[in-house]
Amino acid sequence: MKKVLLTGAALLASVTGMNAHAERDYISIVGSSTVYPFSTVVAERFGKSTNFPTPKVESTGSGGGMKLFCQGVGESTPDITNSSRAIKSSEIALCAENGVKDIVEVMVGYDGIVLAGSNEAPKYELTRKDIFLALAKMVPNTDGTDTLIENPYKTWKDVNPTLPAKKIEVLGPPPTSGTRDAFVELAMEGGCKKFPFIAAMKDADKNKFKAVCHGLREDGGYIEAGENDNLIVQKLAQNATAVGIFGYSFLEENRGKIQAAKVDGIEPKRELISSG
């Protein structure tokens, strides 16, 4: 049997698919929480417009979906996995080890990642440098030397005097999430590179560079909130000091409750995301 991978890179929404197995009569879909709302709509329309059962869709996160997808072929493994990033070479190797071959990867659209807070909270205007300093596990030494220290910042004002004196409390996706992969690569790494001595690590020691730029603090400043983006939105509505990280579609659906932060002077808009 052939598995078909429909996927995207960086901030792209993605999906993977396979011919339904004779052993069961429905298509099994897992993967990205940000793609989940869209794949659910497609699944429902498929069920209504054909003589086939409605596909079963589960939100497991991009990484979790890839892991399930690559476990093998047969009725016990999913036919399709959604992903908000491209498939990794390590995942292709895992698939091959388990007999999942002839994967066809197809990009189906673009998705944006937003930082947002309650409508009752101040509207943040951040830079990628601010984001890195607020959320990184290790940051440049406050004494100005080219060394790293554990993140000492407690409030956004500690990071940047122009920001509110509000506790740094960011609700975001876990390591299995493609949204998190894209966030650390685009936002965290983008801010990390603003420091020349860290940027130089990329050529000298790629593993150290990645550890520094992609490493998120574990002292409560960054809180892993699971794969349910709707739950993050609900928590933001209840906590005016918190900021959340999730896909743009969840912002659009909840504008009555939450507002997006500007990043590097840019406010997230459908037109910008659609243009790639």
The residues spanned by each domain of the chain are 3-110, 113-274
Q: What is the mean pLDDT of residues 202-213?
A: 95
**249 pLDDT tier (thresholds 50, 70, 90):** confident
Q: Is 70 exceeded by the pLDDT of residue 11? A: no
| CATH architecture label of 3-110 | 3-Layer(aba) Sandwich (3.40)
Q: What is the mean pLDDT of residues 73-86?
A: 88
Q: What is the pLDDT of residue 53?
A: 93
Q: What is the tens place of the pLDDT at every residue in 146-200?
A: 999 999 999 999 999 999 999 999 999 999 888 899 899 999 999 999 999 999 9
% the chain with pLDDT above 90: 61
- Alpha helices, DSSP H, located in the chain: 36-49, 62-69, 89-97, 128-135, 156-159, 178-183, 189-192, 196-199, 201-204, 206-214, 229-238, 248-253, 270-274
3-110 and 113-274, same CATH topology: yes
Q: Is 80 exceeded by the pLDDT of residue 12? A: no
**10 pLDDT tier (thresholds 50, 70, 90):** very low
Q: What is the pLDDT of residue 191?
A: 97
- What residues have CB less than 8 Å from 219, skipping those under 6 apart? 151
pTM for the whole structure? 0.80
**Using alpha carbons only, how large is the chain's radius of gyration in Å?**
20
Pairing of strands 148-150, 138-140: antiparallel
For residue 190, the SS3 value is helix
For residue 137, the SS3 value is coil
Q: Is 80 exceeded by the pLDDT of residue 129? A: yes
d(CA 132, CA 184): 9
Q: What is the mean pLDDT of residues 246-263?
A: 91
For 113-274, the fitting CATH number among 3.40.190.10, 3.40.50.720, 3.30.750.210, 3.20.20.70 is 3.40.190.10
Q: Is 70 exceeded by the pLDDT of residue 270? A: yes
HSE, side-chain direction, 13 A CA sphere, residue 273: 18
Q: What is the mean pLDDT of residues 132-156?
A: 97
d(CA 213, CA 226): 22
Rounded to 5°, the CA angle 28-273-171 comes to 70
d(CA 114, CA 133): 17
Q: What is the mean pLDDT of residues 234-256?
A: 90
Q: What is the mean pLDDT of residues 234-254?
A: 90
Q: What is the pLDDT of residue 18?
A: 44
d(CA 60, CA 179): 12
Q: What is the pLDDT of residue 7?
A: 46
- Alpha helices, DSSP H, located in 62-205: 62-69, 89-97, 128-135, 156-159, 178-183, 189-192, 196-199, 201-204
**Nearest Cα to 62, choosing from 29, 40, 94, 93?**
29
**61 pLDDT tier (thresholds 50, 70, 90):** confident
Q: Is 90 exceeded by the pLDDT of residue 108? A: no
Q: What is the pLDDT of residue 17?
A: 41
Q: Is 70 exceeded by the pLDDT of residue 21? A: no
Q: Which of 14-28, 122-136, 157-171, 204-218 shows the lowest per-residue confidence on average (mean pLDDT)? A: 14-28
